[in-house]
Amino acid sequence: MEFKTILFYLFSAITVVAALRVITARNPVHAALFLVLAFFNVAGLWMLLQAEFLALALIMVYVGAVMVLFLFVVMMLDINIERMRQGFWNNLPLGALVGLLMVGEMAVVLSGRYFGLANLPPQNMPANYSNTKELARLLYTDYAYPFEIASVILLVAIIAAVMLTLRGRKDNKAMHSSDQIAVKAKDRMRLVKMSPEVELPAVAAKEGE
Amino acid sequence: MLDNYFPILVFVLVGLAFGCVPILLGWLIAPNRPDSEKLSAFECGFAPFEDARMKFDVRYYLIAILFILFDLEIAFLFPWAAIFKEIVNTEAVKMFGFVEMFVFIGILVVGYVYAWAKGALDWE
């Protein structure tokens, strides 16, 4: 057997085992760490397909950013693991239905003629072949419009994140320069009309005591 | 092409061995005779007062989510830089690749300005 084939089976086996542990691990922190392991092995598989950019982007974006956030959330979040397990059997039929639907969809896509694994024989690329450049040539010319749409989706995500999580702090002492410039004398000082007060003679005040 | 990555595979294996072998050796050959005195906290150690999981300020997540979004933006810059010389002067449009990427970054700068103006980047 060729060395690459051995590597492929090694990476695939670890990916499958790690993915299984993600959904069976009791501790959510362990599940997140197994997901990191699965991502690393999928990156190895992509590397075997000579898709270096995708492999490294997977590690940089998913392992480096997304999974760190996930770990951060599950480690810090105030969740009761025992209470989360309640209702497992009640939710199982719906979950199983959704899972089966997804498996069916994937099977249709992978076996259909659009994906066409049979039409793509594995080929050995020369040493100077760059998958990154091939990818970029398609992405930045034929798919330029979807590429710009992607930036709009990222913009929506930024605005949604700010809207959902931004809470003004009560003890915030930051200055608002526009408010300071727009302020008028009327806002700062109020002139009140009132009748003049008459000072009582000192003797009368003493008698009153 | 894959031959170029063989040193990295060796590097990964050495890294794995560096982490796993000492633990395995310790587990295999170190004597293990625990008793309640040995396993209890001593000197500066003490039993934990409460659970480590607690309510956490949501602003940490906001910063982390913003980081991920701009991290994705950076990921799009790498393949663009790899073929910049090819697409900056296509037959059809001059400066096409250049303008394309600046439209992309410009749309994201709108989000950056929005987050900044809303005070999402202020800590105190």
Q: Which long-range contacts (CB under 8 A, 24 or more apart) does B5-11 make?
A: B5/A47, B5/A52, B9/A7
- B63 CB neighbour count, 10 Å cutoff: 15
Contact B117, A178 (CB under 8 A): no
Cβ contact, residue pair B64, A172, below 8 Å = no
Do B8 and A43 touch, CB atoms closer than 8 A?
A: no
Q: What is the per-residue pLDDT across A67-81, written as a single tens digit (0 to 9) for each?
A: 888 888 887 776 666
Q: Is pLDDT at A207 greater than 60 in this prediction?
A: no
Provide the strand spans (E) within A29-154: none
Query: For residue A19, what pLDDT is reported?
Result: 95
Strand, coil or helix: A71: helix
Q: So what's the ipTM on this one?
A: 0.77
Q: With the C-alpha atoms ordered B7, B8, B13, B17, is the resulting torsion angle positive or negative?
A: positive
SS3 B26: helix
**Single-letter amino acid, residue B32:** N
Choose the mutation target among A158, A171, A178 for the interface with B, i.e. most B CBs under 10 Å.
Answer: A158
Q: How close is the nearest chain B Cα to the Cα of A107, in Å?
A: 29
Chain segment B13-37, per-residue pLDDT in tens: 999 999 999 999 999 998 888 888 8
Residues A52 and A131: beta-carbon distance below 8 Å:
yes
pLDDT tens readout for residues A105-127: 988 887 776 666 666 666 667 77
CB-based contact A136 B82, cutoff 8 Å: yes
Instruction: Tell me the two tokens of residue A130.
Output: 């760059």
Q: Is the pLDDT of residue A64 over 70?
A: yes
Of residues B54, B72, B115, nearest to A78 (C-beta): B54
Query: How many residues in chain A?
Result: 209
Chain B residue closest in CA terms to A64: B68
For B55, the closest chain A residue by CA position comes to A78
Q: Specify burial of residue B6 (Cβ count, 10 A radius: 0-12, 13-18, 19+).
A: exposed
Q: Output the six-digit token pair for A124.
A: 């050995």
| Residues B78 and A132 sit within 8 Å (Cβ to Cβ) | yes
Query: pLDDT: is A168 or A86 the higher one?
Result: A86
Q: A97: pLDDT confidence band, cut at 50, 70 and 90?
A: very high
**What secondary structure does DSSP assign to B42-106, as a single string?**
-TT----SS-S-----THHHHHHHHHHHHHHHHHHHHHHHHTHHHHTB-SSSBTHHHHHHHHHHH
Q: How distant is the alpha carbon of residue A59 from its chain centre?
A: 15
